Structure 1
Amino acid sequence: MSLLTEGEGKRHSTSSHPQYDPRRPSVTTVLPAGDVPNFEGLTADEAALVALGYKQEFKREFSLWTTFCVSFAVLGLLPSFASTLYYGMGYAGTGGMVWGWIISWIFIQCVAMGMAELCSSMPTSGGLYYAAAVLAPPGWGPFAAWITGWSNWMVQVTGAPSVDYALSAMILAAASITHPGYVPTDWQTFLLTVFVMLIHGCISSMPTLWIARFNSYGSTLNMVALLVVIIMIPTSVTGTDTTPKFFPSKQVWTIQNGTDWPDGVAVLMSFIAIIWTMSGYDAPFHLSEECSNANIAAPRAIVMTSGVGGLAGWALQLVVAYTVVDITEALESDLGQPWASYLVQVMPRNTALAILGLTICCGFFMGQGCMVAASRVTFAYARDDCFPFSSWIKQVNKHTYTPVNAVWFNTIVGICLLLLIFGGEVAIGAIFSVGAIAAYVAFTIPIFIRVFFVGERFRRGPWHLGKFSKPIGAIACSFILVMVPILCLPSVRGNSLTAELMNWTIVVYGGPMMFVLIWWFASAHKWFHGPVINVEHHMIGRDEVVEGVENSSTSDAHSIPGKKGDIDATQKSAADLQ
């Protein structure tokens, strides 16, 4: 769908659209001919949103920078790295850290660019869910939206609990460093994590401008702290008579397989670290209804986040890989947190505590960013009646103009998920791999539909990939197709595999998704019709079926005015959301 800015619109012939009016924002509406909403008095952003079928409900107080800040806060490179060090280092050693990160980042960048192209075309809070609905082949729109929406919601609702759990583990590890006799209990970890989540819920309920400013501070701290840590580690590493400060490249770039699988599979399994870390760049998509100049600023923020985050994260991987002394000791320390164990292992205690303190502060802002992004996704889906109690969840607070009910709905669900803490480290660790799989399944479905079903009919926005759109999209889809089963593998196999060491991702993710599928075929397909329109108009064909035959206005709407035989993918699929 083409959503053009005023300047972009001037480069297109006015004769290509019979309803062109230079006084109106240059947008392509999905509404039937003769039923175009009144754009008078609307900004370009508001008109673009109305053309997609929604009314403006939030204040647009996010800029490119503040949108990037929320996204970078959700990415949270330093705390994300600290939270997933077990996977990157444990599965393939330092070789997996350095090779795994850079290789997987290239593929992840393809996913991010494909998503950014969709965001420029359809900047709505529903994001990927909306894109899947309107791009799907005839009759498949609601089902595509249903699967994409629930998968994306799963990563969103597990984001804050997983981050806050890792944050609490670091806080308690710091307490153990200063008081060596102290050993945290599961109850202490659970209660501290719940407390942090409640704080994040309160902050995420504030007005949009306050949240934007808060996340600006958090992202600035994340960037500064990341740079400080990358400098501090190599300058603070002490070394001993038997271990050098920096290990030789020949050793660092060699895979140290910590699994029962071949080296190649072990490296692929180590990708969970970057895939989970780099799963927050979709935040600008979900904040696009609160962002000014959204169809350009939001996709730019997506690509900036994945690009800057990927390179900066690799730099952090390198300094740790070149300095870690004993991987086994770092992973199995009594501190219960590999990042804290590593810091104590290679540098003086006070320096280690300082870096750990920076990581904790960054983790706090990251958890809050996750909560904000998740609340917008939940609001968007509730707006389309996907959830039980949607009428309550989708209410926008009259004082803050933010989806406060959605914030607290996610908070309650997140607290319930934290009960996995009492199932042991492997059980609670499943929320990390679930987040990775759920995110990239949701990311890839609309990209897959656009590449293999819509093709050249896709109406792109002002930010696009041009002739590289299909190749990049195909690469992104291939990467996820390979990685989904890999991320479900346990690190051991054969007689070594026990219930304790089992990878429960397939259960934690597959179980709810199986329920979602059963729900669809049993009931939801009868009443769920994809994105619901909030303005007084309806998407083409939504209510225009008589005795199973679409009327002429629906059929005529399948053609782009002025371009005979070409199909507007958005209009065509929207007509099938009946």
Structure 2
Amino acid sequence: MDDHSKSEKRAGGDVQSVSEKVHISVWDVDNAKLAELGYKSEFKREFSLLETCAFSFSIMGIVASISSTLSFGLVSGGHVGLVWGWFIPGFFVMFVALSMAELASSMPTSAGLYYFSAKMAPEKYAPLASWITGWANITGQVALVCSIDFTCAQMITTAIAVGSDGETILSLGATYGILLAILFSHGVVCSAATRVLARLNIFYVIVNVGTTLAAIISLLVVSGDNKVSTKDAFTLFENNTGWINNGWAFMLAFTAPMWTLTGYDSAAHISEETAGAGRAAPIAILVGVGATASLGWLLLIATSFVIPSVGDLLGTSLPLPMGQVFLDVLGKRGMLAIWSFIIVVQYVTGAAQGVDASRVVFAFARDNALPGSRWWKKITPHTAVPVNAVWFVMAWSGILGLLGFSVTALTSLAGASVIGLYTSYSAPIFLRITSGRNKLEPGPFTLGRWSTPIGTVAVSWVTFITIMLLFPPGQTTTPDEMNYAVLIVGSVFIFATVSWVTSAHKWFNGPVRNVDETVERRST
């Protein structure tokens, strides 16, 4: 080997050595911060900033989520429900995301929201605040996994119906069987090692964005002159809800964007698997919400332009009206082509949400807050992943999936997931702007003096949305058409309340330190 080659080899080795030292240094700082928060490092930090952003973005699955929930806007306002029923919630959700980003930057731990509540609450009430937030978050997480995978099953049945020219319409029982198969496959995927999950998210985001852009362009281009006027696309209002008050009917359209814009707390829940978590988590939250809200609005505007009759679209025999939109504009082959990619997007969205939910279950079990915690907090040594927690999520999602036999299955599952998640989002934000004003030690991302006004808007919005989502879809209802979100959320609330009063208040003290050594604060 000549001197030049030796020099290059030494230089390459030096560069690699420096790179490794940088990574080790970042991991050391992250692990020291985690120990300071009270937890030992049990995961491998293999999510980069890019992969964390991809994870937060992928979990919301724009084109698939809109394809799943188009009926909400169509029923609650028609064209106005689609366009402005998305824009208004998207604007207010950014206030929630900003407040959450600040908390995640300060306290980067998989415990996430219930940990934030414990630290922001008065010391006397910290365990109760943590208990309420944790149970609300787990309820929302599991309901979200189920609702995503249920709509994925509906997408598959829609494709079968179109492919057979309407001759094969699968029953609700068959749809439930597809749901169980999807949940099982997600259990296998979510049990993979962290490095595999991290790399998969780059693929997820490429498919997600690519399919969304393809949908927007194809709808606008292929429809040609068969579009409604700009005035109608943005201002034509139709109330098909059964509610007499048009204003209330319109606000029910908010369910769709609120269901789509959930799960971005995932960036906090994987922070123990992220390098530079104090910086990466808040960036991922804001990028995920901002990009999803923006691209989603553009897709809905394009969709609004190509719907000549809302009534005819609501009368489709397909399980999901968006399938009919693509069929009308693109024809059978074009619809099946883009629909196949939308199914892939929804599938990977469910996989990402399964990872997120399993980390919440693991963290809550690590603090001994769940029945059978010793099982759910186990980390599989080979993959360094909480596999038992993964299957806990899939099993309960399968049970919730029985609601698929109800007419209002998606309304109920979407409502339960939004109520559970946004209650857990708003609890630590409320405590941050009240009892915790002087408790937060800012991380790399901070709102400074804007934290109180932004947090106030965030909490006010979530309070309104939570109340709204408890109402039934129509002014009169039957057992088959009722909003079962009340039953799901109410059952968990009753269980958590009875558990707290009879037992948990004696032994649950909030987040439990599992590191013994005293960790000095390290400046980054």
| Residue 468 of structure 2: aligned partner | 486
User: Quick check: 1:355 aligned with 2:370?
Assistant: no
SS of the residue corresponding to residue 92 of structure 1 reads strand
**Residue 117 (structure 1) aligned to one of 92, 95, 102:** 102
Please provide the CA RMSD for this pair: 1.9
| Residue 147 of structure 1: aligned partner | 132
User: Quick check: 1:197 aligned with 2:183?
Assistant: yes
Of 507-516 and 406-415, the range deviating more from structure 2: 507-516
| Residue 47 of structure 1: aligned partner | 32
| Residue 459 of structure 2: aligned partner | 477
Change (3 A) 1:537 1:136: farther
Structure 2 counterparts to residues 395-474 of structure 1, below 5 A? 395-422=378-405, 424-427=406-409, 429-474=411-456
SS of the residue corresponding to residue 238 of structure 2 reads coil
| Residue 516 of structure 1: aligned partner | 496
AA aligned to 2:497 is: L
User: Quick check: 1:138 aligned with 2:118?
Assistant: no
Distance (Å, rounded) in 1 between the aligned partners of 2:410 and 2:70 = 15
User: Quick check: 1:324 aligned with 2:310?
Assistant: no
AA aligned to 1:404 is: V
8 A contact 2:27–2:45 mirrored in 1 = no
> Displacement, 1:538?
8.7
| Residue 507 of structure 1: aligned partner | 487
Distance (Å, rounded) in 1 between the aligned partners of 2:495 and 2:392 = 20
Change (3 A) 1:119 1:500: same
AA aligned to 1:121 is: S
Distance (Å, rounded) in 2 between the aligned partners of 1:368 and 1:276 = 17
8 A contact 2:45–2:272 mirrored in 1 = yes
After TM superposition, which residue ranges in structure 1, 4 or more long, deviate above 4 angstroms? Answer: 39-42
Structure 2 counterparts to residues 492-571 of structure 1, below 5 A? 492-493=474-475, 496-536=476-516
> Displacement, 1:41?
11
| Residue 88 of structure 1: aligned partner | 73
| Residue 246 of structure 2: aligned partner | 263
Deviations 1:147-179 (A, max 9, x none): 100110011112222111111111111111111
User: Quick check: 1:391 aligned with 2:391?
Assistant: no
Distance (Å, rounded) in 1 between the aligned partners of 2:384 and 2:454 = 38
Deviations 1:522-563 (A, max 9, x none): 211111110111112599xxxxxxxxxxxxxxxxxxxx9xxx
AA aligned to 2:272 is: E
Q: Which runs of 5+ in 1 are unaligned?
A: 1-38, 540-559, 561-578
AA aligned to 1:122 is: M
> Displacement, 1:465?
1.1
| Residue 84 of structure 2: aligned partner | 99
8 A contact 1:129–1:145 mirrored in 2 = yes
| Residue 344 of structure 1: aligned partner | 327
8 A contact 1:50–1:535 mirrored in 2 = yes
Deviations 1:476-534 (A, max 9, x none): 011111111111122322xx432233222212212221221121112111111101111
AA aligned to 2:322 is: W
TM-score for both structures, normalised by structure 2: 0.91
8 A contact 2:54–2:202 mirrored in 1 = yes
8 A contact 1:331–1:341 mirrored in 2 = no
| Residue 229 of structure 1: aligned partner | 215
TM-score for both structures, normalised by structure 1: 0.83
> Displacement, 1:120?
0.5
Distance (Å, rounded) in 1 between the aligned partners of 2:144 and 2:25 = 40
8 A contact 1:331–1:337 mirrored in 2 = no
SS of the residue corresponding to residue 75 of structure 1 reads coil
| Residue 246 of structure 1: aligned partner | 228
AA aligned to 2:169 is: V
Distance (Å, rounded) in 2 between the aligned partners of 1:251 and 1:215 = 34
| Residue 7 of structure 2: aligned partner | none
Distance (Å, rounded) in 1 between the aligned partners of 2:245 and 2:447 = 37
Higher helix share: 2
Deviations 1:214-255 (A, max 9, x none): 12211211011111111111112266xxxx323332453232
Distance (Å, rounded) in 1 between the aligned partners of 2:207 and 2:172 = 30
AA aligned to 2:121 is: A
Structure 2 counterparts to residues 201-220 of structure 1, below 5 A? 201-220=187-206
> Displacement, 1:370?
0.7
Identity of aligned residues (%): 36
AA aligned to 1:217 is: F
AA aligned to 2:432 is: R
Aligned residues: 495
Distance (Å, rounded) in 1 between the aligned partners of 2:281 and 2:462 = 23
Of 143-152 and 320-329, the range deviating more from structure 2: 320-329
> Displacement, 1:428?
5.1
Change (3 A) 1:417 1:453: same
